[in-house]
Amino acid sequence: MFKKSRVFYRLFVPFFLLGVGLVLGFCIFIYTTTYNSVEESFLKDKRDYTLQVLHNVEQKVRTIEYGFTAYSSTSSFEETFKTPFYESEFDRYQDIRKEMSYIEMLGIEGSAYNLISLDQKWGIINGSLKTLTEQELDGFKEKYVEGKTQSLFWRPDGEQIEMIMTLPIYRSEKFAMGTASIPKRSIDQIVGNKEQYVEIYNKQDELLYSNQEKDSSLTSGEFNRLKEKAANGMTMMRAKDGRTYVYALSDYNQWLYMVEVNQGEIGTIIRNTAIGLVITSLLLILLVGFISYRLAESYSKPIRKIQEKLALPRVPSKENELSLLAASIEQVVDQNELLTEDLTRQQPQLETLFVLSLFRNRLSEKEVQNRLEQFGYDVDHKVFYTVVIQMDTDFEEQGVEGDLFRLAINQVVAECIPESERFIPIVLNDEMQATILAFPETEEEPERKIAKYYESIQQAVKENLHVTLSAGISAPYTTIVESKKAVDLAKESLYYRVNVGAESIIFFSDISQLVNDATLSKFPLDLHNQLLGAVRSGEEDEAVSHMDSLIADIFKTNKNPVSIGVTLTRIINDLVQLGQLLGADFAIFDRIKPLYEEAMNAYSPERIRKRLTEDLLKPVIRSTHDKKEQSIKSLSQKIVYIVETEFDQDLSLDQIADRLHYNPNYLSNVFKKEYGESFGDYLMNYRLQKAQRWLVETEWTVKEIAEKLQYRNSQNFIRFFKKRLDMTPGDYRKKHRH
């Protein structure tokens, strides 16, 4: 009862091994993917943390440097530090301490700041006045002044970082010196996370700061390679010992910030996932074993099932297997015959799909060759043309369904052109029908034959369907995969019927010179302005009349379809913009995308005039009629809105008038009447308010604020500011920040 046949084991073992392999592969893939994802996210967090440390430290460093620089730039600095200092000058001492207190307030908490006069041999050191010895003075000058091209020095000093700045910073004569000593604990507070191993190196590769008492595991070669990568914008490196470092190079002072990544943290994060995958793998392997057992058992007993289904008597095992094989083969043969019949019935649809794919360039050359062999097309030593035809009138004007017309036209093409000289005709889109024609390379005057075919097609369609057609024919091509380009050329040819009228047969070779000519679009500006004026005044009949004249003039003066399309698109854009300014219903503009497409492909003046009038012009006029008075009253509010949203751009009343389609003088009078001041004064006062706010709330310099407020010369801004507020921007910032 429990004995299994050899067939059972031959099925069970492969099924089981395959299932186990898939399960293990899947689990390994999931683990690898998860680990990589977690590692990537973890490293991203480290990079963000490194950049945060960089920005925090750099902000404090720049603040300290700025404090000393700003003080050295004051008018009283030179007088103070080139004059001897006596212990009785308490007021002078208080002034210097006040400046140092300002630097301390902006700088790093817990730091010590000193100011030294190299010229007069005195200094405010550790809060006290001290006279320098000649030895101390010579040491300072030799180390930081004489022969030095730089004025700023950062160096490690035991458990602190020391900054030395020779002053004034922007003068070659150095008669003073400022120092700042930043203790390690202050940097610890900025770095924050003590569990992260963080190191900071200055531009001279000196270790300025490390939050842990241990030596770096990087060799000198690895450190140099890390600096080179940091200069090239890279942010991570793995050392030879397997450790990973995330780093960032400051653009401001070329300091290198480095954080060591603890790989053990990633393992801790992924540990639960690994345990879950192991448990899942074991469960899946058990499931695979059960499924493999059931499959092997079912496939090893096929005859029993056949007997149950067909009520056949039991036969020996070998005969059962042969019977199953015979039945299976017979079933496959029957299915193949059915499939062949289905393919035969569906071949026209498959051919149509093939031609559509050619026109859309969705097939590789190998796929094209396979399809050509499948459908029996002979393309060797052939020259091809693509022909696109389109009705000269809308289907709606004929009072019939478009699908019926397109299918009827497609059938006429199939009947008028021999099958040996064409691919299957197809309906290209809602308006066009396309056919690929194929002629032998030795064919004489193939274009004459094409013209004859399509004249007969036009005649047949006109007699039977009572519509007229135009045809566009591409340039000849020798490779069938070029059909995408050919159908575009055929469409381009078809657009030129605007110049030759309905029932045209246009070859691309005849109009290629026109396509290549760079012709400027001719735009009837006077008629256009009259149209916009009629829309503003709400005169529908007058606007329709101007639209008729405008469209007629455009088609009369522009012969290139591209020029016509560009000109019509400009009209649509201006009407849309004007309608929006006049408060037209936005639903009108949500439906105009087909209008843009028709404008770029316009060939009938009457058709595009009707569409523009009925779908855009009249709806805009009727929608804005009731809102006209309210719109006029809100002109001043619109100007104020533009000022409040674009005050940091180049802005003038002429620009606003052009955007709102109003005369600048008219807008000026309306605005002054509404707000009691001119537009220019309002704009300058609003920018002044913004400047006051930015001076208090931001760290932007006066020059940056002036540039944002469109002052080309910051001195003009300072003069205007002082004229209005009786103080400079710098004084205003100091007053309101304290």
Q: Which of 423, 430, 440 is nearest to 387 (CA)?
A: 423
pLDDT score of 645:
86
As a whole number, mean pLDDT of residues 634-643 equals 82
Least confident of 212-221, 400-409, 710-719: 212-221
Q: Which of 641, 556, 569, 636 is nearest to 598 (CA)?
A: 569
Q: Which of 151, 70, 74 is nearest to 105 (CA)?
A: 70
Confidence of residue 476 (pLDDT cuts 50, 70, 90): very high
- Report the 10 Å Cβ neighbour count for 656: 20
- The secondary structure element, H or E, covering residue 236 is strand 236-238
Confidence of residue 290 (pLDDT cuts 50, 70, 90): confident
Written as six digits, the tokens of 666 are 């008219």
- Which has the higher per-residue pLDDT, 681 or 314? 681
The highest-confidence range among 106-110, 434-438, 563-567, 720-724, by mean pLDDT, is 434-438
Q: Which CATH class is domain 634-737?
A: mainly alpha
Confidence of residue 1 (pLDDT cuts 50, 70, 90): very low
- What is the DSSP track for 323-363? HHHHHHHHHHHHHHHHHHHHHHHHHHHHHHHHHHHHHTT-S
Superfamily of domain 378-516: Reverse transcriptase/Diguanylate cyclase domain (3.30.70.270)
Query: The sheet that has 128-131: what strands, in order across it?
Result: 128-131, 122-125, 112-117, 176-183, 160-167, 152-157
| Percentage above 90 pLDDT, the chain | 3
What pLDDT, in 10s, does the model give residues 61-100? 888 888 888 888 888 888 888 888 887 788 888 888 888 8
Residue 690 half-sphere exposure toward CB, CA atoms < 13 A: 21
Written as six digits, the tokens of 52 are 């945060």
What pLDDT, in 10s, does the model give residues 323-344? 554 555 566 566 767 776 776 6
pLDDT score of 158:
80
In angstroms and rounded to an integer, the radius of gyration of the C-alpha atoms of the chain is: 42
pLDDT score of 254:
83
Assess whether pLDDT exceeds 80 at residue 522. Answer: no
Question: Which CATH architecture is the domain 193-261 placed in?
Answer: 2-Layer Sandwich (3.30)
What pLDDT, in 10s, does the model give residues 357-383? 988 888 888 888 888 888 888 888 899
CB 702 within 8 A of CB 717: yes
In terms of DSSP bridges, do strands 432-440 and 382-391 run parallel, antiparallel, or are they unpaired?
A: antiparallel
What pLDDT, in 10s, does the model give residues 203-258? 888 888 887 776 666 666 777 777 777 766 667 777 676 678 888 888 888 888 88
As a whole number, mean pLDDT of residues 428-432 equals 82
- Which has the higher per-residue pLDDT, 315 or 599? 599
Confidence of residue 315 (pLDDT cuts 50, 70, 90): very low
As a whole number, mean pLDDT of residues 702-726 equals 88
Confidence of residue 385 (pLDDT cuts 50, 70, 90): very high
| Angle between helix 635-646 and helix 679-697 axes, rounded to 10 deg | 30
Residue 315 half-sphere exposure toward CB, CA atoms < 13 A: 15
As a whole number, mean pLDDT of residues 674-691 equals 86
Phi-psi region for residue 18, left (φ > 0), alpha (ψ -120 to 50) or beta? alpha
- Report the 10 Å Cβ neighbour count for 290: 12
- The secondary structure element, H or E, covering residue 455 is helix 446-465
- Which has the higher per-residue pLDDT, 436 or 251? 436
Q: Which residues pair with 432 in a beta bridge?
A: 390
C-alpha separations of 548 from 52, 132, 613 in Å: 65, 94, 9
Cα–Cα distance between 711 and 717 in angstroms, integer?
A: 6
Assess whether pLDDT exceeds 90 at residue 590. Answer: no
pLDDT score of 435:
93
CATH for 73-189, options being 3.20.20, 3.30.450, 3.30.110, 2.60.40: 3.30.450
3-class SS of residue 440: strand
Q: What does pLDDT average to over the chain?
A: 80
